[in-house]
Every structure is written in C-alpha cells, then in structure tokens.
C-alpha cells in the first residue's frame, strides 16, 4: 500500500511540474491566461516548488509584466535564495510535449485538487468531534458537506457542457479564416461536401484507384493552409509516399526517373519539388512503421501532443491483427473501434483508408459505416473512359459520398486521376450528381 501511494504521489508531482512547464513555455502567456481563466490557483499545487513558481508567475501576470520566461521567473522567485536549483524550471519545460496539452493537464489535476479539498474539510469536521458538542459537530459536518457539494457542482457535466456551448457560439462569431477546417484534395469537394471539422472519415476503394493519392493530396492542401498533419503509412514505405508527394507538387513522372529515363526538365522539376516540400517544415510528419491497434493509438497520441491537427491512417487492412481474435470480421470491427477511439481521445479529425470488396461494399465489416461520420467510396468510372480523349495513364474516379452524418450524402463528384504524377483534379467543370 505504501508503494502504491508513493507511485500516485510521484505521478501527481509530475503532473504539477508539467502544468508549471506549460506556464514557462516561450510565448506561453496565452496558455497561462487560459489556465487562470479555468480557475488554476497556487492552492491547486501540493509540491512546494510548483506552488511557489506558479505563485510567482501569477503575480507577474497580474502586474502585466511584458516578459514571463525562465530568467525573469527565477528572479521573481528570489534566485539563489530558493531551496531548489534553477535547472528545475528547465526540467519542467522539458516535460511538456506541446502547450496544447495545458488544458489536458489541468483537467487531470482538477479532480485531485477537489478531492484534497473535500478530504481536508471532512477531516476538520472529524477533529471537531473530539472537543465540541453535538451541535457544533453537526454544524461542522453540514458546512463540510455544503462545501463539498459546491466543489462537485463546479466540476459537474452540466457546467462543462454550458462552457462548451459558450465556446462553440463564440467560435462561430470569429472570422472563418481563424478556424481550422480540414480541406479535401480538390476545392470542388470543399464546395459540395463542406470542409472537415472534427469528423471521422473513411475513404475506401479497390486497389490502384487512387485512395493513397487522395490522402497525400489532402495532406499537402493542409500544409498549404498551415495545418499540421501526421500520416501513418502502414501500407507503403515512407520513400513511396515521398515519391508521390514529389510527383504531385510539380507533376513529375517519378516512374521515368526511377527507371533512369528522366529528362533534364523532369530532374529540375524534382529538385524544385524538394525545395517546395521542405518549406512546409514540421507541418507534415510521415511514419511507416508497422503497427497493431495499441501502437496506432500510441502513435496518434504522440503526434497530437506534438501539434498534429489531423491524422491520416493508410490503411486498415495492414494493421497487424490481434492473435486473440479469430475472424476477419471481428478484426476489422476492432480496427474500426480503434480508429474511432483515436478520434474521440485526441479530439482531432481522422482520415482512414480502407479497401472495397469486389461487390463494391466496405470490405470485411459494416461496423466501419456505423462508426464513421463520413464514408466515401472512390470508384473508377469505366463508362467515362470509353467516351475517349483520355490517356492510358488517366482515369475518371467518382467520389461517392455514401454517408455524411452532418451533411448531404448521395453526392457523386467525378475527378480526373493522372496516375503517373499522382494528381487528382476536377473532371472538367462537371457538377456533382445525386443518387
């Protein structure tokens, strides 16, 4: 029992250090303002170092000090007079993966603070029973219970949804450009489907129809809009994804270059593509390591902690199976739940890719359609190709919206897929069909 208590104490202390680290991040004054607005005070901290540091930061914020950073906070604390070393402040900052984690840390600490407060008030009431009369004990207990009820009410779901409602309404008063919306691969889909906010999207097709190109072009449009994305390529190695990206951004036939037939013009275009893609910096992160469901969930948490605003998973069929599950049907049901839990736990949109069966339905599991907010089938339109005027390397792909929980389903948007350069583009100026 003592060892278990020590473990809980260590985790509690680390959590407090992470919150302090969020307040000390460079440019973290907005984070500090948000934490204070959500009720964080020095009393929430039990670790003396954390309590003194947050108290100092709080004083500096209240005075509207222009700079709240490690050196100024250390000076506010009293410098060498403190019983701990200044390196401890750096250690707190190092424990924070991203300032976006501040609210997450706060909401974990909140019930711990409430529990300590309630316990303290009940202990006071218990101690009064040793010396006071019955009436005094009853009054102390009643006061403790009222205080406890107020603390519980402060963290109640009702207040939580009301705060979320206020934040929702406030967000829609902001200019559209201040909100993060995830674009589709081509603008015409943005127009007819609406951009993605927080949805779980499944995109499915038969092999070689263009689902990976769909995801890559979508990721590149996100980067162009300044949106950070993480791409988990379980099916293809990173090298293959990079080749497709190069082909897409400068319309380079990477097959020619791979086979040693690249022209000077193609090679120059490839060099330009490299420079262009490097300009995105950390807006794109690609991982090609094999993964089972648990490893995929861990990857998603790590990427969101680093700032990813949308996750791509390509594709479900390549997730390593759980040996305890015997049938493919049950495996894919588990994969679908994993992807849904990832979206629910990270609160960012997830775009997952899957295969269509020969019958044209989602392969292996109808659980996917139930879990998804949006389901899209990419279907090659052979009839359109028969009309002529197309190169052998081109195809017409219909983007069929089979499900759209918050929008219109039954839309069919045709796209031209130029396979040699991995580019999807609108098919002429055709309007979508409805079924």
Q: What confidence score (pLDDT) does residue 154 get? A: 58
Tell me how far apart the alpha carbons of residues 63 and 68 are, in angstroms, rounded to a whole number: 11
Q: Which residue in the block uniquely carries the two structure tokens 């949109």? A: 349
In tens digits, the chain (435 residues) has pLDDT values of 445 555 556 778 888 998 898 888 865 677 777 788 777 888 889 899 999 999 998 888 888 777 778 888 898 898 877 888 889 998 998 888 776 778 778 878 887 887 787 777 777 777 766 666 666 666 666 776 776 666 665 555 555 566 667 766 766 776 666 567 899 999 988 888 888 988 999 999 998 899 999 999 999 999 999 999 999 999 899 999 999 999 999 999 999 999 998 899 999 999 999 999 999 988 999 999 888 988 998 899 889 888 899 999 998 889 998 888 888 888 888 899 999 989 988 889 999 999 887 777 776 667 888 899 999 999 988 766 555 555 567 889 999 999 998 877 888 889 999 999 999 998 865 566 655
Q: Residue 355, exposed/middle/buried by CB under 10 A (0-12, 13-18, 19+)? A: middle
The pLDDT score that the predictor gives to residue 2 is: 42
Same domain, 100 and 198: no
CATH number of 334's domain = 3.40.50.300
| CA diameter of the chain | 98
- Pull the structure tokens for residue 194: 């609406």
Check: CB of residue 209 under 8 Å from CB of residue 382. no
Note the pLDDT of residue 212. Answer: 95
Number of domains comprising the chain: 2
Residue 181 lies in a domain: no
**Residue 406 DSSP one-character state:** T
C-alpha span between 19 and 109 (Å, rounded): 9
Write down the pLDDT at residue 397.
Answer: 93
Q: Give 289-352 as a DSSP string.
A: ----HHHHHHHHHHHHHTT-SEEEEE-GGGSPPPTT--SHHHHHHHHHHHHHHHHHHH-S-EEE
Give the Cα separation of 165 and 158 in Å (integer): 11
* CATH number of the structural domain spanning residue 153: 1.10.860.10
Distances (CA, A) of 432 to 20, 406, 429: 52, 18, 10
> Does residue 176 form part of some domain?
no
Tell whether 210 and 144 lie within a shared domain. no
Residues 381 and 244 in one domain: yes
Q: Please tell me whether residues 224 and 336 are part of one structural domain.
A: yes
Give yes or no for a contact between 231 and 238, defined as CB atoms under 8 angstroms apart.
Answer: no
Judge if 233 and 350 occupy the same domain: yes
From 196, 214, 216, select the one nearest 205 (Cα to Cα): 214
Collapsed DSSP state (helix, strand, coil) of residue 231: strand
Examine the domain organization and report whether 153 and 197 are in the same domain. Answer: no
In the DSSP assignment, the letter for residue 79 is G
Q: Is residue 165 part of a domain?
A: no
In a domain, 180, yes or no: no
Give residue for tokens 């996917």.
Answer: 368
Q: Are 309 and 380 in the same domain?
A: yes
- Residue 315: is the preceding peptide bond cis (ω within 30°)? yes
Which of 407, 385, 405 lies closest to 395 in space, CA to CA?
385
What residues does 314 pair with on adjacent strands?
233, 353
> What is the distance between the alpha carbons of residues 79 and 143, in angstroms, rounded to a whole number?
41
Q: Distances in Å between the alpha carbon of 80 and those of 76, 86, 106? A: 11, 8, 29
Domain membership of residue 32 (yes or no) is yes
* Same domain membership, residue 386 and residue 268: yes
Tell me 401's DSSP state: E
User: Cα–Cα–Cα angle for 45, 51, 55, nearest 5°?
Assistant: 125
Cβ neighbours of 275 (radius 10 Å): 9
Of 120, 140, 158, the domain-final residue: 158
Query: Looking at residue 152, what is its pLDDT?
Result: 60
- Tokens representing 371 are 């879990």
Identify whether residues 248 and 309 lie together within a single domain: yes
Same domain, 127 and 204: no
pLDDT at 1: 41
Q: In terms of residue numbers, what domain contains 410?
A: 187-434
For residue 4, with 0-12 CB atoms within 10 Å meaning exposed, 13-18 middle and 19 or more buried, which class applies?
A: exposed
Pairing of strands 284-287, 200-205: unpaired
Q: What is the pLDDT of residue 121?
A: 74
Beta bridge partners of 396: 416
Residues 313 and 254 in one domain: yes
Whether residue 174 lies inside any domain: the answer is no
User: pTM for the complete prediction?
Assistant: 0.63
- CA 351 to each of CA 46, 196, 197, 202: distance values in angstroms, whole numbers, following the listed order: 41, 10, 12, 6
**Domain membership flag for residue 376:** yes
Domain membership of residue 348 (yes or no) is yes
**Same-domain pairing of 392 and 278:** yes
Residue 212, classed as helix, strand or coil, is helix
């Amino acid at each position: 029992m003592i060892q278990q208590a020590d473990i809980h104490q260590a985790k509690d202390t680390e959590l407090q250090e992470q919150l302090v680290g969020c307040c000390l991040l460079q440019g973290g004054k907005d984070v500090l303002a948000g934490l204070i607005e959500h009720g964080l005070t020095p009393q929430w901290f039990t670790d003396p170092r954390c309590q003194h540091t947050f108290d100092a930061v709080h004083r500096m914020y209240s005075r509207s000090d222009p700079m709240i950073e490690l050196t100024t906070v250390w000076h506010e604390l009293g410098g060498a007079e403190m019983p701990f070393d200044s390196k401890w402040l750096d250690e707190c900052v190092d424990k924070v993966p991203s300032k976006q984690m501040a609210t997450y840390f706060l909401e974990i600490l909140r019930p711990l603070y409430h529990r300590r407060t309630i316990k303290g008030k009940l202990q006071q009431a218990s101690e009064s029973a040793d010396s006071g009369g019955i009436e005094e004990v009853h009054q102390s207990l009643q006061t403790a219970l009222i205080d406890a009820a107020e603390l519980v009410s402060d963290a109640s779901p009702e207040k939580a949804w009301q705060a979320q409602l206020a934040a929702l309404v406030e967000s829609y008063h902001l200019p559209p450009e201040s909100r993060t919306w995830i674009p589709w691969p081509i603008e015409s889909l943005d127009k007819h489907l609406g951009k993605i906010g927080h949805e779980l999207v499944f995109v499915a097709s038969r092999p070689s129809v263009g689902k990976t190109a769909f995801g890559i072009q979508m990721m590149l449009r996100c980067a162009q809009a300044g949106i950070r994305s993480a791409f988990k390529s379980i099916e293809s190695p990173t090298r293959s994804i990079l080749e497709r990206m190069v082909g897409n951004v400068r319309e380079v036939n990477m097959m020619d270059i791979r086979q040693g037939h690249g022209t000077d013009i193609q090679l120059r275009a490839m060099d330009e593509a490299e420079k262009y893609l490097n300009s995105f910096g950390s807006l794109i992160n690609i991982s090609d390591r094999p993964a089972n469901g648990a490893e995929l969930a861990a990857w998603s948490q790590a990427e969101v902690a680093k700032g990813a605003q949308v996750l791509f998973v390509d594709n479900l069929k390549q997730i390593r199976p759980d040996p305890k599950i015997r049938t493919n049907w049950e495996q894919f049901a588990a994969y679908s739940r994993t992807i849904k839990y990832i979206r629910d736990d990270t609160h960012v949109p997830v775009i997952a890719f899957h295969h269509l069966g020969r019958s044209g339905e989602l392969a292996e599991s109808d659980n996917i359609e139930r879990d998804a907010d949006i389901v899209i089938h990419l279907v090659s339109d052979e009839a359109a190709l028969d009309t002529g005027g197309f190169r052998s390397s081109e195809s017409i792909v219909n983007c069929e919206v089979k499900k759209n929980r918050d929008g219109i389903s039954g839309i069919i948007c045709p796209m031209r897929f130029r396979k040699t350069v991995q580019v999807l583009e609108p098919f002429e100026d055709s309007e979508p069909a409805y079924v």
